[in-house]
Amino acid sequence: MPYYQKKKYITSSINSVLKQSYKNLELIIIYDDTNHEDLIILNNLKKKDKRIKIFINKKNMGAGPSRNKGIKLSRGKFIAFLDSDDLWSRNKLKKQIFFMKQHKIKISHTSYYIINYKNKVIGQRKAKDLSHKQLLKSCDIGLSTIILDKKLIKNNIKFASIKTKEDYVLWLQITLNEKKIYALPDNLTKWRKLDNSLSSSKFQKFKDGYLVYRKYMKFNQIKSFFYLCLLSINFLLKQINTK
């Protein structure tokens, strides 16, 4: 869990981890804010549960590099991600890890609810199995729903150093080797949509979307713009079809 200026939501997010029915976990928080005032909140929570571990970045690194750092520091077989304003349902880890062991798969995602700043559900996204070819056209994965086998993170397969879509690069890299990212259809996560968040900046997402294809997938300019157009169209369709 990278942390940057989310003190309004961080306690609820952390509690959704600590209250998991699956108990054998560690919560690694990468503090990515040069202002250390919010550390008081995190340290108070840490005192109540020894499974919480806090690591402080010397400078602001961004979400992608912070998650990469957290993965290196982790000790578990499975890695799950949670943004500091999102929420997990109580049985999220238990159900999803059982699903992965049962089907002998290395990476999975789930359906999720979309909530606003008041915790009101304003939509949902249904998970489906996704191949590399499908992902190139549309990123239909909620970061906070993913669980993966740590062995998938190796060499250059990691979160990208861009402001948005850093996770999209990782899913594309993984599916170059794995057949699919498999779906558990249960709604096990709540993703918070905030109008002032970085992920809501259309220009930034458009810019980073181009970098996904041009820099990280190493497509030529024409191919990069082609897939960027597909990605943008599918994004707009998802906004229209949200229920």
CA distances, 131 to each of 18, 28, 128 (Å): 32, 29, 10
Q: What is the pLDDT of residue 235?
A: 87
Q: Which domains does the chain have, with CATH numbers?
A: 2-241 (3.90.550.10)
Q: What is the pLDDT of residue 202?
A: 81
Packing angle, helices 10-18 and 39-48, rounded to 10: 20
DSSP 8-state secondary structure symbol assigned to residue 138: -
Residues 6+ apart with CB under 8 A from 26: 51, 53, 74, 75, 76
- CA 60 to CA 17: how far, in whole Å? 24
**Token pair for residue 64?**
């992608």
- CA 148 to CA 162: how far, in whole Å? 21
Report CA 137 to chain centroid distance, whole Å: 19
- Per-residue pLDDT tens listing for the chain (243 residues): 999 999 999 999 999 999 999 999 999 999 999 999 999 999 999 999 999 999 999 999 999 999 999 999 999 999 999 999 999 999 999 999 999 999 999 999 999 999 999 999 999 999 999 999 999 999 999 999 999 999 999 888 999 999 999 999 999 999 998 889 999 999 999 999 987 665 557 888 899 999 999 999 999 999 999 999 999 999 888 877 655
Site of tokens 């779906």: 183
Q: Phi then psi for 154, rounded to 5 degrees?
A: -155, 160
**Token pair for residue 91?**
């049985």
